[in-house]
Amino acid sequence: MEKRSFKEKLEIIRNIIRESLLGNAAIIALIYAASHSLPVNAFPDYLVISLLSI
């Protein structure tokens, strides 16, 4: 079994979370929380956050 670097392990974990339904729900919850904590004039930021989460 080959040794993997810490960064590779984090990427594997990130991919598992990203592809799971729970990961998608967590991203939606974070965007929802951000939408209520940011000022109204920051709507373009919501678009950027949404695009980065895809």
Nearest-angstrom CA–CA distance, 49 and 21: 18
Tell me which amino acid residue 47 is: L
Over residues 27-51, the pLDDT tens digits come to 777 777 777 776 656 667 667 767 6
pTM above 0.75, yes or no: no
Tokens of 16: 């598992």
Encode pLDDT of 4-29 as tens digits: 888 888 888 888 877 787 777 777 77
Residue 39 is given by DSSP the state -
Q: Are the CB atoms for 53 and 27 separated by under 8 Å?
A: yes
Q: Where are the domains of the chain?
A: 6-53
